[in-house]
Amino acid sequence: LVGLFGFYRWARGRERDARARIDRLAHFDTLTGLPNRALVADRLERELARARPDGESFALLMFDLDGFKQVNDTRGHAAGDALLALVAARAGEAVRASDTVGRVGGDEVLAILPPTRGEGARRVAEKLRAALARPYLLDSPVDSVSASGGAALFPQHGADAEGLQRAADAALY
């Protein structure tokens, strides 16, 4: 019985670990460790549900890397992947713990800043821009990468997730 109980505990632990790994793969970008598009969408919907009743403002920042394609083309995808991992780390350091920063595709990153007004969003955007503009050390320094960003505020620029993302994307370009 002791052996059977030990096997049962081992199997349960292994199952728990497998479920945690599946959950991580389903909700986080494997390259950067940031929340992926699905988890960012879920967090945005939750933030909308929280902010709607009181009309409380929050910001959505969208930014992408200028010069990323050149790094990928000239230094290879491994260098591009390393660059994205460094960008994720810097972006995570530039925001508050209550903010969500996620990779939504390629070199595109989205940040949800609850509760924030225009001036607060501008300060965070500047902090992110400055953090991402510093040179990156890969196999040799890369100094041709900067970030372009756009912001949208709830409820001024959109009342739903799609409207806010469209507004932030328009501000980006």
Strands (E) located in the chain:
58-66, 100-105, 108-113, 136-137, 141-142, 146-154
107 is catalytic: yes
Q: Give the integer Cα–Cα distance in Å for 75 and 77.
A: 7
**Peptide bond preceding 135 in cis form (omega within 30 of 0):** no
pLDDT in tens, 3-47: 888 888 989 999 998 888 888 788 899 899 999 999 999 999 999
* Model pTM score: 0.82
Q: Block means of pLDDT (10 residues each) for the chain, length 173 residues?
A: 85 89 86 94 95 91 89 86 91 92 92 91 91 82 77 93 94 89
CB 145 within 8 A of CB 136: yes
Instruction: Look at residue 138 in the predicted model and tell me its pLDDT.
Output: 78
Kindly name the residue from 29, 64, 99, 107 that is annotated as catalytic: 107
